[in-house]
Structure 1
Amino acid sequence: MDSRTDALVIGGGATGTGIARDLARRGVDVTLVERDGLSSGTSGRSHGLLHSGARYAEADGPEAEACLEENRILRRIGGACVRETRGLFVQLADDEPAYFDAKRDACEDLGIETEVVDGDAAREAVPDLADDVDRAMWVPDGVVLPSRLSAANAADAREHGARIRTHAPVTDVTVEDGRVTSVALGGDADETVRPTYVVNATGPHAGRIADMVGATVEMRPTRGVMVSVEYDGLEPVLNRCREPDDGDIIVPHGGEVVLGTTSVSVDDPDDYEHAEWEITETVRECAAMLPPVATAPRVRTWWGVRPLYEPEEAARGGRGISRGFHLLDHTDDGVANCCSVVGGKLTTYRRMAETTADLVCDRLGVTADCTTADERLPGASEPARLDAFVREFDGQGPTDADLVGSESRD
């Protein structure tokens, strides 16, 4: 079976579904395809932090500003796709005070709201916080439920005419005269799509799809472990206030907390080692902030793979540097109707989608403006409806498995 579409979006994570939503709202005929269920890749296997920008403030001001703006937008449009927590950066006795000071000053310069408190005040807010916390800083971090977020974006895209095809892996691509003319789908789809334009939003798999198109995208994927343990009552996200390292974040999830993470290069984002040392190191380092997690019962463990862009990683030195996103127009590779979007983070998915949709609309001659920052996601105030979207699109990832559907279980 053959079908035609103005824009074929490959990849069903937050960025891909966000692109489909944006384009559909601008009146573009869109088909989104995902090889598994929605959120089966990087988006659904993250730690779920809604960044305020504070983590990157002293290293990359523009990216921190983008995080802050998108944080505010997502709180406005996302409803029950986010949890309204705060964030607390904690300085332990062995941590460098100058780093804390630099982060605080950078946050203030960027307009990221902060409040510095001493160790006693921090422990009053988080009673189990380590005794050697010298001081801490409140920031407007939050928590994202990526399964709900991706499913809600897909549902909104569909409401505006898009076709959402899950379990539809790309099996072949035909390029003629410098343009993609057809994309063959396997799995449940078993059809050939003839697109006017193609967007590669496949995260760490972007290089493989680009190869099929005849373009080049150099990726440097890295894996990171997340460990969810039983712990009830933590309100804020906890961040270790030091240079980014293993085990420096704790994300609250109701009766659980998610401990993260590591950063280890992988050759194949589908086939990589799940090393026990990563779990041990992550738990040990997170317990330096919140000691009870060291012995808390483990609920589940999962790894995610970051879609890092090799040229940026090589130029900027890898971990510890803020990672923005890159929109690659493959016209320079001799493929005029295809682009790839790589890098970035969950918090800025909507901005990545808007930038990509702008390029696609320019190529298609569409002049409609982006509306995704202003229109609430469908089901935003109805958790049960959001969870129904997740089930419909087979979109449950491990990040928020304890939260999605929790209202109906209570």
Structure 2
Amino acid sequence: MAPFSESLGTEFRKSWLRTVRVTLERAGPAFIKWGQWAAARPDLFPSDLCDELAELHTKAPAHSFSYTKRTIEKAFGRRLSEIFDEFEEEPVASGSVAQVYRATLRFRYPRQQIKPMLVAVKVRHPGVGETIRRDFLLINLFAKVSKFFPTLKWLRLDESIQQFAVFMMSQVDLAREAANLSRFIYNFRYWKDVSFPKPLYPLVHPAVLVESYEHGENILHYVDRLDGNGHIKSALAHIGTHALLKMLLVDNFVHADMHPGNILVRVLQGKGPGKALFRSKPHVIFLDVGMTAELSKKDRDNLMEFFRAVALRDGRSAAECTLRLSNKQNCPHPEEFIEDVDKTFKFWGSDEGDFIHPADCMQQLLEQVRRHRVNIDGNICTVIVTTLVLEGWQRKLDPEYDVMQTLQALLFKVDWADSLFYTIEGLMAP
């Protein structure tokens, strides 16, 4: 259906988009993961395809409890009942790589009174590593074949598959996710409003991860459904922005899967009559840190220049920065790309286009990146898209709070590199 999806009208295209999503859901974990990854790459794929593939975040297979039991016992060399006092057989969540159970850790010191510890146990699906490798070979083969069909070239499958391979394999090793959690916990050790699940060593294995169970409400409860409580929503917008800025500008270690499904909120009650105005304080917990991004100094500098140019609505500089966001730039007509971006930004800078938000400018810039076949390295695009995702739900939380404006204020400080650590840490530390 793909060769005709551009030419047979809106209804046919809608049917084709649904067919793509359903096919990926039924094809296996690698295809689901590719779809989830592709949904976050508006520089490679049309926006309507990205929107449809974003639905894959909620679709996942499940495996039996008997398999879970065997996997845990094999990983840790002990019977399930020797590790856990209680283990709920029904999973609380299931993803394309693993599913999560709730359990109570067994007391290690029988003669002492110890509060039972509720934990989350993440167990990898059976044969997922081998299945993903097999599926990846099939995807790669199809991507290579697609290059010989002019009507399929616009999908840019060959380019996307190369970048996807690194992302996909990082998701399979749960011990790697545990290491990422430990690093985030250390980076945010002084922050009272942000936390991550704690991996419980030695109960960490490539196929099984035991971590602290985090209570909380999905952030969408505050984004979409909770009326009032403006101070909580505003606080969440500030916390999320400063957490991302710290990851990006201070630590160079970014949670690259920061969609709302991976963010919980706990509302803490202040103590004492003197804190009446601040009774409700939100605490943010980031989950599922298997996918992260780190940038080289050169890439970080280029990305900062890109954000500066977008904030200033300087189209020519933004386009030139974009062309530098890949070491293997294959844009066939870079001057045309620069001219098109410059024209668009000049409209945004006029009185007629002044109402357009900088984040919307960036979204439309990525659409031009796709049309002109401009290469952006995967890690850099991940950071850009993470910023846009964060900005999207924060604009709903607090329309008055501008993520891009906060970023701009920091980037245009002459001494931002020296003072940034103290600025962000001072804002968020107790």
TM-score, normalization: structure 2?
0.22
Which is bigger in relative contact order (C-alpha 8 A, separation at least 6)?
A: 1
More helix by share: 2
TM-score, normalization: structure 1?
0.23
Higher-Rg structure is 2
More strand by share: 1
